[in-house]
Chains A and B, each alone.
Chain A
Amino acid sequence: MTEKGHDGAFTNTPQGIHMTRRKFLVAASTVTASGLLAACAQPTPTAVPPAPTAAKPAAAPTAVPPTAAPVAVQPTAAPVAAGAGKYGGVFKAAISAAPPMLDGMASSSLATIQIQSGTMETLINLKEDYSHAPLLTTGWDISADGTTYTFPLRQGVLFHNGKEMTADDVVASTKRFLEVTTRAAQFALLDSYTAADKYTVVFKLKKPSAAFLDALVSFASGLYIMPKEIIEGKKANELTVADMIGTGPYKLVEAKLGDYVRTVRFDKFVPLPEPGSGMVGGKIPYFDEIIWYSVPEAATRVAGIETGTYDWVEALPATAYDELKASAGVTPYVSKPCDWMIYLFPNHADKFAGNVKFRQAIAAMLDMDEIGMAVTGGVKEFYTLDASLWVPESTWHVEDETAKKLYNEKNLDKAKQLLKESGYAGEQINMSTNKSYDWMYKTVLSAADQMQKKLGINTNVVVMDWAAQQKQWDETAGWQFSISGVRGQAIAAPGDLVGYWSSKTKGGLNLHYNNPAMDKLVEEEQAAATTEQRKAAYAKIQALYYTEFPWMKTITTYGLEAHRSNIVGIRPWYRSFRFWNVWRS
């Protein structure tokens, strides 16, 4: 037993603890105050930059003039002229997810891609019309036999640490990229990569492949050019925030993953003279800073754009479209050409989902409009139906009468006949989905409902979390159908999509599919030396797809995004998060 004396709040005596009310109040206040002080003693994740604050009440209706009739902005291919905007200010973007890591070479996470889009650059990239164009190079030369690609580099391009980019950096970046990327398979034909001189890099392939340029521009797990001395020997996720050094118009200065990532204008960035187009051309960093906030709750993103807390928000529910159109100072727009091309995933190791007749039966029955209405909450502007595996805006879109006939066929008699031929007799069909992605959840609910009501299939929807669902794809038993979607693969990276259906792609998205005929076509596609040969290969793959259904295409959704009306220069596109050539009016 200890005694603290008269001044102490507690006095321990053999009789127990005694404390006056006044002392208790003093002690309680002290505990509360010290708790609050402790709470504030350390700089908190949002101490710098400050949390996004709403526009002042008075400013909201007046400073931002209400738009009488907000018009949804449609994608435009028109290039943006450089030098037309106004410098200054902080741009606050709210994205729906937190990046799992900032290492863009190693991660294919969309959040990572979004944040690094302004800080990292690749050798070549896409123009607004999805054609390839030089970015850190002045062009490229392909040898007559199609196996040697020579890239002369732009001279005087500076990294964020002030060092000039040279061929050695490109070689070092390629080396590290191949060690950490999730897309190593796309570089299987790469034989060597060398620095011919200080400003020239040569890539040699084992055999010709027109898909090689696609592999260089892919955003997911990108071949970003970084300084040799920073990245050498660094494995995936071993780069610190300070190591995130690229050549883009913005440089990354601070990151609290799960909260925000702050980038500031790179003052020594020299934009190309031609107008900006797609991911290339003149990129003018008008804003002093761009802060990327991770805001997982969609309702909070909607409220954030309405109050001016954020300047740009993405992944909004389609049902918020009307509300945002009526909201003063907000410009919502339909983001095309593709938010998600949604596929049901059959487990090819399963007795039924792996049975082609069973898959054909479901394909013949599905009413895609039912799925579209379920996913978008009945807002028709936000989905489209198209048979091609690549969106109409893509170079690789395949017009095919057979595919048109078989997609969204809604032929119940045919479906019932095929189901009978498959040998199905009422067994339970487990369909896995998750609630992290509303579009996945609703697609599976709608498909399962149709399968049950129209074909009498005994469907069982299994809701799990996204991590568990992805893990399940490696399993051969316990599930019949799952779900996911593609975006880039449906537009500009067709090789990625068809690659999943090759039996040489093990695990994950291959879903245990093994078809020698498809393997042969994928090899043909990979070896195609010209765009025409590739198009021909994709047409054959699509034709085989519609007899086999290695995956089962449903609808293509469009995204709902919005920006404050005083933000100028947002261009909805395949990647609308390009915040160069964008300014506040």
Chain B
Amino acid sequence: MTTYIARRLLVFIPTLLVVAVLVFLMISLVPGDPVMEMLGMDAPPDAVAAKRIELGLDKPVWMRLGWWFGRALRGDLGRSYFLGEPVIQAVAERFPVTLSLSLFALLISMGLGVTAGIIASVKHGSAVDWGVMIVALLALSVPGFWLALNLIFLFAVHWRWFPIGGYVSLVQDPLQFVRHLTLPALSLGLVHAGVTARMTRSCMLEVLGSDYVRTARAKGLPEKVVIIRHALKSALIPIVTVIGISAGVLLGGSVIIETVYNLPGAGRLVVEGVQRRDYPVVQGGILFITCIYLGINLLVDILYAWLDPRIRYN
């Protein structure tokens, strides 16, 4: 397994290289000019030209890409044109918000999704099964943006149970941390809970009909033990796959939710970077998120081996 992990970590390097080159080329080739954003649309051409020289934007893309790699290899992802701080610092300051939101949303999607899926499979064909599946279908059909606005209207504006947005860190105030993240995490997590519920139900139904489950029941094991210990564990492989994908999608999906709930996260940083053509922020932010995504994928693969001893990577 150690060899496998080491090999996978080595694969990260070319993956990150490809991502870095692609992102650099894409953001550089998209029309737009960070200098216009900095100096305003009525900036005189000579001021714009001077600023472009100062930022090195007058040089060809390949040359800027070379410079960027040269610095990146020394651990320097550059400085934001607008924030006036190193990109690593800007991302590191904001990533905890995105991570908190994504983890909270993942807990919601796993908790609700797996539970609902198990209940639906156990009550297969009943009104409960139908009810759970209709709700799950609705949840995954609803756009996160629309759901977020409606949750704000109901729970923040109408009933005032939760704030409309903003972020308070766990260290600063644990209760406010939970209050501020509940609606954003629900907006993000409910959609994935629907996917997880449907996948769990489907996998559980397949396993519940297998011989060894029938044997477990014949042995007189309590139904709870049969379902949780015998059936669920076998059904977990595809569920973990879906959860792994969800974790990556949640990181990406947090971009919109961070904007709606005014959360100062890394996703919003990247979006604003794109809007302003803050090339170093976009490049550094996406690279950082790619690293996290690759890490999640590796974790999922390791989990496979633990869940199913037949899986060997060596």
Contacts and interface: CB of A to CB of B under 8 A. Distances in A.
Tell me, yes or no, whether A binds B.
Answer: yes
Interface of A: 1-2, 12, 15-19, 21, 24, 32, 35-47, 50-57, 60, 98, 100-101, 106-109, 180-185, 220-221, 235-237, 240, 256-259, 293-297, 299-300, 303-304, 306-307, 309, 436, 464-468, 470-473, 484, 496, 500, 505-509
A220 B84 CA distance: 21
Contacts of B94: 44-45
Contact of A38 (B99, B162, B166, B312): B99
24 contacts: A16-B309, A17-B302, A40-B96, A40-B177, A45-B94, A46-B167, A50-B173, A54-B160, A98-B272, A108-B40, A108-B42, A109-B40, A182-B42, A185-B44, A220-B42, A237-B82, A259-B264, A303-B153, A307-B164, A464-B31, A470-B33, A470-B41, A471-B33, A471-B36
A17 B305 contact: yes
A56 to B, nearest CB: 8
A471 B170 contact: no
B1 A506 contact: no
B1 A44 contact: no
Given A300-B261, A303-B153, A464-B31, 12 more contacts: A16-B311, A38-B99, A40-B169, A52-B165, A54-B160, A108-B43, A297-B259, A470-B32, A471-B31, A471-B32, A472-B31, A509-B41
A299 B234 CA distance: 45
Contacts of B259: 296-297
B38 A466 contact: no
User: Would you list the 9 A-B pairs with minimal beta carbon distance, nearest first?
Assistant: A51-B166, A108-B40, A467-B32, A40-B170, A39-B96, A468-B31, A57-B160, A45-B264, A259-B264
Interface of B: 1-2, 30-34, 36-45, 47-48, 51, 54, 81-84, 92-94, 96-97, 99-100, 103, 107, 149, 152-153, 156-157, 159-173, 176-177, 180, 229, 259-262, 264, 268-269, 272, 274-277, 302, 305-306, 309, 311-312, 314
A1 B6 CA distance: 11
Given A44-B264, A507-B48, A101 B42 contact: no
B79 to A, nearest CB: 10
Contacts of B48: 507
A562 to B, nearest CB: 14
B157 A307 contact: yes
B293 to A, nearest CB: 15
A468 B168 contact: no
A258 B83 contact: yes
A107 B170 contact: no
Given A40-B169, A53-B176, A306-B157, A35 B41 contact: no
Contacts of B39: 106-108, 182, 236
B262 A293 contact: yes
Contacts of B2: 1-2, 12
B275 A467 contact: yes
B156 A54 contact: yes
A388 to B, nearest CB: 21
Contact of A12 (B1, B93, B99, B165): B1
Given A1-B2, A182-B43, A259-B264, A309 B164 contact: yes
B100 A36 contact: yes
A51 B96 CA distance: 15
Contacts of B165: 51-52, 295, 300, 304, 309
Contacts of A43: 169
Contacts of A12: 1-2
B143 to A, nearest CB: 14
A48 to B, nearest CB: 8
Contacts of A2: 2
Most interface-central of A40, A257, A468, A506 (chain B CB within 10 A)? A40
A237 B81 CA distance: 9
A295 B262 contact: yes
A465 B275 contact: yes
A265 B166 CA distance: 24
B96 A184 contact: no
Contacts of A468: 30-32
B96 A17 contact: no
B271 to A, nearest CB: 9
A476 B309 CA distance: 65
A101 B39 CA distance: 9
B31 A35 contact: no
Contacts of B276: 100, 467
Contacts of B44: 182, 184-185, 505-507
B45 A507 contact: yes
Contacts of B43: 108, 182, 508
A509 B32 CA distance: 15
Contacts of A18: 306, 309
Contacts of A51: 163, 165-168, 176, 180
A504 B180 CA distance: 53
Contacts of B261: 300
Most interface-central of B82, B149, B173, B276 (chain A CB within 10 A)? B82
Contacts of A467: 31-34, 36-37, 275-277
Contacts of B37: 100, 467, 470
A60 B42 contact: no
Most interface-central of A51, A182, A500 (chain B CB within 10 A)? A51
B32 A465 contact: yes
A205 B259 CA distance: 48
A236 B96 contact: no
B157 A42 contact: no
A522 to B, nearest CB: 15
A551 to B, nearest CB: 13
Contacts of A52: 163, 165-166
B44 to A, nearest CB: 6
A484 B260 CA distance: 25
A151 to B, nearest CB: 26
A53 B163 contact: yes
A168 to B, nearest CB: 26
Contacts of B171: 40-41
A35 to B, nearest CB: 6
B152 A24 contact: no
Nearest to B85: A257
Contacts of A258: 83, 264, 268-269, 272
A522 B48 CA distance: 24
A255 to B, nearest CB: 9
Contacts of A38: 96, 99
Contacts of B99: 35, 38-39
A405 B306 CA distance: 80
Given A100-B82, A100-B276, A258-B268, A17 B262 contact: no
A39 B103 contact: yes
Contacts of A240: 84
Contacts of A295: 165, 262
B163 to A, nearest CB: 5
Nearest to A1: B2
A568 B296 CA distance: 52
Nearest to B170: A40
Given A47-B169, A57-B159, A484-B41, A300 B152 contact: yes
Nearest to B100: A39
A24 to B, nearest CB: 7
A362 B275 CA distance: 32
Contacts of A100: 37-38, 82, 276
B305 A36 contact: no
Contacts of A471: 31-33, 36
Nearest to A184: B44
A63 to B, nearest CB: 13
B97 A44 contact: yes
A1 B93 CA distance: 37
B186 to A, nearest CB: 16
Contacts of B1: 1, 12, 16-17
Contact of B260 (A108, A297, A509): A297
Most interface-central of B48, B259, B306 (chain A CB within 10 A)? B306
